Amino acid sequence: MDYETPQFFRVMQYASRADRDVVDMVSGNPDWESPEALREGLHAYADSDPDAFQYPPSVGIRELREEIATRRGVDTGQVLITNGAGEANHLAMTEGLETKPGSEILLTDPVYPYYAGRANMLGAEISFVPASESGHLDPAAVREHASEETAVIVVNSPNNPLGVTYDGETIRDLVGIAEEYDALLVSDEVYDHFDYSGRFESALAVDSEHRLVTNSFSKSMAITGWRVGYAVFPDADGDLLDRARTRHMLTNVTGSRPVQEAVLHALRNTDPSYYEQSRDRLRERIGTFTDALDDAGAEYTDPEGAFYVMARFPDFAGSLENVERLIDEAGVAGMPGEAFSDSRAEWIRFALVTPRVEAAADRLAAYFE
């Protein structure tokens, strides 16, 4: 499996060249409005004095770090503001690999391709832990694959691409495995606001030197282009955080001050109903889309969180060639399962962040009838 060349843009480019109307269900870009307080925050910042337009602290503006720390129940010193969750994951995987005795990164199968691509870029040994038939991660399977060579274990809940959510018992067991093998559990929780099952529990609920949590506001506030993420480290004074701060500074110098100020304003001034409305919107789309999958005779993972559904249609492999056929013949663009794993190569992932979910559902039901 080639994880060094993610296929997202290849599929989107193919869809953009199609000779027909296509419903884009490829990318995870929210299609709804961001909180109004974000615009307010940007406007307020634009009227600031010139000194507010200069470098912010490399670790992020203190008020934003304090707000995150209060919400997550951690010390402000544990929080590092990053260029989206992507940089947070990169720092976590890199420093985990360099500070832990092992040389292996454990990933789930199927996997978000950027984790695997990053592990390849870092030159790590990679081992994949297959998800269960329902899509969940069995800690016993992780334990079977873990060894003294394991340096980092990367998990994502709610999960992309499967749409499942790990419960508290699973998370505690995973932290325990990381502790047993002196490894670092990296828990990417970027979809934490999109749990429809009530199962989600953050790894921050477990006090351990062997767990690190990453997150961002890209999905929860519908601002994937703003690139405001963060990492919560186990220890405010630890070597892991010290090394990550240095790498972050040498790579970026610092992050963007205007977007950090605007996110801070939005955190303080956005009613919880905004997030509930986003979840309600996704719940409705999940129902519409899975009804169509039932009509098409497809098998699919039960969407418990995030934005995604993985489905397997009768006698229709989840190859790039078949994804292109769906674009040309059905007018629906999804992601080939082979982009995420060999084990789900027969499946196709659909992102439900489009107002045209019903149209896509009708087209798929008609195509596979």
pLDDT score of 343? 87
The answer to whether 231 and 82 are in contact (CB under 8 A) is yes
pLDDT score of 231? 98
Higher pLDDT, 162 or 341: 162
pLDDT per position as a tens digit, 81-97: 999 999 999 999 999 99
Higher pLDDT, 16 or 153: 153
Distance CA 325, CA 269 (A): 46
pLDDT score of 12? 86
Q: Which of 294, 132, 135, 278 is nearest to 196 (CA)?
A: 278
Task: Calculate what percentage of the chain has a pLDDT beyond 90.
Answer: 91
pLDDT per position as a tens digit, 246-269: 999 999 999 999 999 999 999 999
pLDDT per position as a tens digit, 111-134: 999 999 999 999 999 999 999 999
For the chain, which residues make up each domain, given as ranges? 8-34+273-367, 36-269
List of residues 6+ apart from 45 with CB closer than 8 A: 52, 257, 258, 261, 262
The answer to whether 364 and 292 are in contact (CB under 8 A) is yes
According to CATH, the topology of domain 36-269 is Aspartate Aminotransferase; domain 2 (3.40.640)
Give mean pLDDT, residues 136-144.
96
> In the predicted model, what is the mean pLDDT of the chain?
94
3-class secondary structure per residue, the chain: CCCCCCCHHHHHHHHHCCCCCCEECCCCCCCCCCCHHHHHHHHHHHCCCHHHHCCCCCCCCHHHHHHHHHHHCCCHHHEEEECHHHHHHHHHHHHHHHHCCCCEEEEEECCCHHHHHHHHHCCCEEEEEECCCCCCCCHHHHHHHCCCCEEEEEEECCCCCCCCCCCHHHHHHHHHHHHHCCCEEEEECCCCCCECCCCCCCHHHCCCCCEEEEEECCCCCCCCCCCCEEEECCCCCCHHHHHHHHHHHHHHCCCCHHHHHHHHHHHHHCCHHHHHHHHHHHHHHHHHHHHHHHHCCCEECCCCECCEEEEEECCECCCHHHHHHHHHHCCEECEEHHHCCCCCCCCEEEECCCCCHHHHHHHHHHHCC
pLDDT per position as a tens digit, 43-55: 999 999 999 999 9
CATH architecture of the domain with residue range 8-34+273-367: Alpha-Beta Complex (3.90)
Inform me whether the pLDDT recorded for 7 exceeds 90. Answer: no
Task: Calculate what percentage of the chain has a pLDDT beyond 70.
Answer: 98
Long-range CB contacts (< 8 A, 24+ apart) of 92-95?
Answer: 92/152, 92/184, 92/186, 92/212, 92/214, 92/231, 92/244, 93/118, 93/119, 93/122, 93/124, 93/152, 93/154, 93/186, 94/122, 94/247, 95/240, 95/243, 95/244, 95/247
